Amino acid sequence: MNYAFVPDLIALAILIIILMVLRRRHPQERVGLWLLGLFFTLVEALAHTFYAQSGPPARPLHVIVLDCYLLAGVVFVCASGEFELSRRSRVLYLSLNALPLLAITTLYGLHILRSTAYLPCIVLGLLIGVISSLTMRQSWRSAALYACGWLTMAWLVQRGQYRETVYWSLCCVYAIAAINFQRRLPARSTGRLAIVTGFTIWALCFLMHPQIVKYREYADIASHVWNMQKSLISIGMILIMLEEQVSSNEWLALHDELTGLPNRRLFAERLAHALERSCRLGTQLVLVIVDLNGFKAINDTLGHVAGDQVLREVSSNLHNGVRSSDTLARLGGDEFILVATDFARGEPVEHLLDSIQRAVEEPILVDGRSMVVTASLGIAVYPDDAQDSIRLLRIADQRMYARKRGPIPDSGETGSLAVNARW
């Protein structure tokens, strides 16, 4: 048993445990894939500790190590999320392309060194790679890269360079993971830097391994570099999870959790910026408060779950019914607020109110029942009604309540639950 690997094995196990603890607070598919990839890495490290101090490794151990390298790399490529495919299609695509590589690593792990054993796997891998890229990903570029990779392996096998063939394939897998993570992770993320650096070092280690084994004096340095990148990747994954958690907390601090709309705090900031812009450009700003009518009756008769669904549906319809430059927020309860900018002085705003009314009154389905919700609207215009945010909000609120107290005609109910109002 090679006890020199034990400290690194323990360190990797501790990092995996930390990831498992964090996963409870961060339940994402990608985190599960990370853990699966690190599990294969842990199995590889465990098998490595039983390698002989000198001479070739035992065949079963060699197979476990090489296959775990490959499986971990494929899982990490899947976790990188580069493929624009459904989850099932992505797993199928990667599995099909991994099978010929798995056969090759297994052959080499069993110390089978005959070109007649490797070439059928290479031909199969070439066909699968090109066909799956053209049919599933519809990418000529991907098909060309697969062809180059497999043809390089065929050339190495013909030269009798079986070790180079295996480690070239592993280098390609981990290089793909590095490139994909570089593209997909946030640009300013510290975790991204650690992960991409780790996978790049890993790919280079595979590429250089056939040469390093010829120079035993560099074996210790290579071993330390080899183990360093595993910890680097694990730490990078932990950093990514923590960064995403911080980002999520910041988002929740500025948004309504139920509807995803800006909350009072974020709306106040955007309103202040919008007023500054309108003042600078000499344009109108329109502030509209939207208060749903009869929402309490919905909660009382259908329950709060149905009420929450109504709020989500109405907020979605409102968001889709206004301009992308406008800011829609939820003030709380059944009250929403909209600030619309860049109206010319004296420009009528009836079309804005009509679009809001249509969005609110769009039929929605709640618990299998068709429901039409209406609302009372209160409007205030800068600079005609007021020139500061506090007075604009007060005027819009007063006008909304004045309209809400007005008579509401009874339109009856035919096949749906209707909550009626006017503005």
Q: What is the DSSP string of 340-382?
A: EEEEPTT---HHHHHHHHHHHTS-EEETTEEEEE-EEEEEEEE
Q: What is the pLDDT of residue 133?
A: 92
Instruction: For residue 417, give every residue at least 6 positions away whose Cβ sits within 8 Å of its Cβ, in sequence order, or none.
Output: 369, 370, 371, 372
- Among 216, 234, 254, residue at a domain's last position: 254
Q: What is the pLDDT of residue 110?
A: 95
Could you tell me the residue range of the domain that residue 128 belongs to? 3-254
Sheet of 369-373: strand order equals 364-366, 369-373, 417-419
Q: What is the pLDDT of residue 56?
A: 72
Q: What is the pLDDT of residue 415?
A: 32
SS3 content of the chain, % helix, strand, coil (to 5): 70, 10, 20
Per-10-residue mean pLDDT, the chain, length 423: 73 84 70 88 87 78 94 92 77 93 96 94 96 92 94 95 95 94 87 91 89 69 71 84 81 87 91 91 91 86 86 90 86 90 81 88 82 89 90 92 66 34 32
239 CB-contact burial (10 Å; exposed 0-12 / middle 13-18 / buried 19+) = middle
Q: Does residue 259 lie in a domain region?
A: no
Q: Does residue 387 lie in a domain region?
A: yes
Q: What is the pLDDT of residue 222?
A: 67
273 shares its domain with 218: no
Q: What is the pLDDT of residue 1?
A: 63
200 shares its domain with 53: yes
Q: What is the pLDDT of residue 372?
A: 87
166 shares its domain with 269: no
Sheet of 335-343: strand order equals 327-332, 335-343, 284-292, 375-382
Residue with tokens 């429901």: 371
- CA atoms within 13 Å, Cβ hemisphere of 286: 25
14 shares its domain with 51: yes
CATH code of the domain covering residue 308: 3.30.70.270
- Among 222, 254, 286, residue at a domain's last position: 254
Q: Tally the domains of the chain.
A: 2
Q: What is the pLDDT of residue 148?
A: 95
33 shares its domain with 156: yes
- Among 206, 221, 254, residue at a domain's last position: 254
Return d(Cα 341, Cα 328) in angstroms, integer.
12
Would you state the structure tokens that stand for residue 289, as one six-digit string? 């408060």
Decide: 197 and 205 in contact? Cβ < 8 Å.
Answer: no
204 shares its domain with 280: no
289 shares its domain with 373: yes
Return d(Cα 293, Cα 410) in angstroms, integer.
13
What SS3 state is found at 247? Answer: helix
Q: Does residue 223 lie in a domain region?
A: yes
